[in-house]
């Protein structure tokens, strides 16, 4: 898969680690809950077929039939991870007590199932209500803790627009490739498809990314940063990325592409979450990271694509994690 592969799992796992190592979130979790989040992050898209839930349901795939059309992929990821972890050679949970195992599994099931983008707005509303309720967020209450863990994994899953421009742009292109491939399949099979998922050029992709950031990313991360103020810097990355996508989209001449969004509904955009695809990987962008700068067109090269390993980003994040740990001391 261009996007939903092991590298995406590692990227989400690393951001999850960052969120609990460098913010107050980590102080609310015990060791099992923190470990459960890391395992869930790595496994949250395991054995992903490169299609959305809608494709699985509309094509009446075996998975859709098995899970009765309900959060098909998320159920599959969670079940596959659980079966793998049961294998003797993979069982990293073998040292846990029964109670610890039960707690880990509870976190894993609820957090992975909450990555279903059709739950995005419900999850966000619950989080807002918990944080702003009279008693405030209660770290001792198990439902609030599960909610926090679900939000952390969901935010990590949707963290690509919060990376520096160069990396964010590449992940966006990989999502587009996967989306476009799905639309091609849907057309070939005469299945319904979402026009916004088809981005025939970079300008269309830029419009889709701009809308995705405005309707999904900015509102969600605003709430997360409000709760975890140590993440304030993320707003700058999101803002720079949005400006850069807007600059690319402005280069386009008006075309009759209802698909290339700004017009797509927030709910349609929610469906893209981490599932998508497109055009020839031709893109434009600055090599100057998050500071934005002059835009120029160029082809993605192998170095760019190898980035998807997350190595460059991981390096940057590790440095920041290290500095954070040094400045704030041990949080757990």
List residues with catalytic annotation.
4
Q: Which is nearer to Zn ion, 8 or 207 (CB)?
A: 8
Best CA proximity match to 173, nearest among 160, 162, 182: 160
Instruction: Name the residue nearer to Zn ion (CB basis): 45 or 116.
Output: 45
- Using CB under 5 A as the binding rule, the residues of this chain from 65 to 124 that contact Zn ion are none
Instruction: Give whole-number Cα distances, 199 to 124, 204, 221, 250, 327, in Å.
Output: 28, 5, 25, 15, 44
Applying CB under 5 A, the span of 28-36, 191-199, 202-210, 273-281 interacting with Zn ion comes to 273-281
Token pair listed for 213:
């950031």
179: part of which helix (H) or strand (E)?
Answer: helix 165-188
Closer CB to Zn ion, 45 or 304, in the complex:
45
Candidate residues 274, 278, 279, 283; the one interacting with Zn ion per rule CB under 5 A: 274
Q: Which of 20, 117 has the CB closer to Zn ion?
A: 117
Burial of 192 (0-12, 13-18, 19+ CB in 10 A): exposed
Between the CA of residue 182 and those of 59, 173, 200, 208, what are the distances in Å?
11, 14, 13, 16
**Is the distance from CB of 126 to CB of 178 less than 8 angstroms?**
no
Q: How far is the CB of 158 from Zn ion (least distance, A)?
A: 8
For 12, 62, 88, the CA distances from 16, given in Å and listed in that order, are: 6, 31, 26
Closer residue to Zn ion (CB): 9 or 285: 9
Owner of token pair 């898969």 = 1
Which 123-162 residues touch Zn ion, going by CB under 5 A? Answer: 157
Which of residues 13, 35, 45, 156 is near Zn ion by CB under 5 A? 45
Query: Does residue 178 contact residue 276 with C-beta atoms inside 8 Å?
Result: yes
* Contact footprint for Zn ion (CB under 5 A): 45, 157, 274
């Amino acid at each position: 898969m261009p996007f939903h592969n092991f590298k995406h799992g590692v990227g989400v796992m690393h951001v999850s680690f960052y969120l609990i190592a460098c913010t107050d979130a980590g102080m609310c979790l015990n060791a099992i809950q923190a470990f459960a989040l890391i395992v869930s992050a790595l496994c949250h898209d395991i054995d992903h077929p490169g299609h959305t839930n809608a494709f699985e349901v509309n094509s009446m795939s075996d998975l859709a039939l098995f899970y009765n059309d309900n959060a098909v992929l998320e159920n599959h990821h969670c079940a596959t991870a659980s079966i793998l972890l049961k294998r003797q050679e993979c069982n990293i949970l073998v040292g846990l007590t029964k109670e610890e195992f039960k707690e880990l599994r509870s976190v894993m099931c609820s957090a992975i199932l909450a990555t279903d983008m059709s739950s995005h707005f419900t999850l966000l509303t619950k989080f807002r209500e918990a944080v702003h309720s009279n008693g405030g967020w209660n770290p001792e209450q198990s439902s609030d803790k599960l909610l926090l863990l679900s939000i952390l994994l969901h935010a990590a899953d949707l963290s690509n627009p919060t990376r520096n421009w160069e990396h964010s742009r590449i992940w966006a292109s990989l999502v587009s490739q996967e989306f476009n491939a799905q639309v091609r399949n849907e057309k070939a099979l005469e299945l319904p498809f979402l026009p916004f998922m088809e981005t025939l050029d970079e300008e269309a992709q830029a419009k889709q990314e701009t809308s995705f950031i405005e309707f999904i990313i900015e509102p969600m991360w605003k709430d997360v940063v409000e709760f975890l103020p140590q993440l304030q810097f993320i707003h700058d990355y999101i803002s720079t990325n949005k400006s850069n996508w807007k600059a690319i989209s402005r280069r386009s001449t008006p075309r009759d592409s209802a698909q290339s969004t700004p017009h797509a509904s927030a709910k349609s955009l929610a469906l893209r979450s981490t599932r998508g695809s497109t055009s020839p990987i031709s893109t434009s962008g600055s090599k100057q990271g998050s500071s934005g700068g002059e835009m120029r067109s160029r082809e993605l090269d192998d170095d760019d694509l190898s980035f998807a390993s997350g190595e460059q980003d991981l390096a940057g994040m590790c440095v920041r994690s290290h500095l954070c740990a040094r400045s704030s001391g041990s949080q757990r």
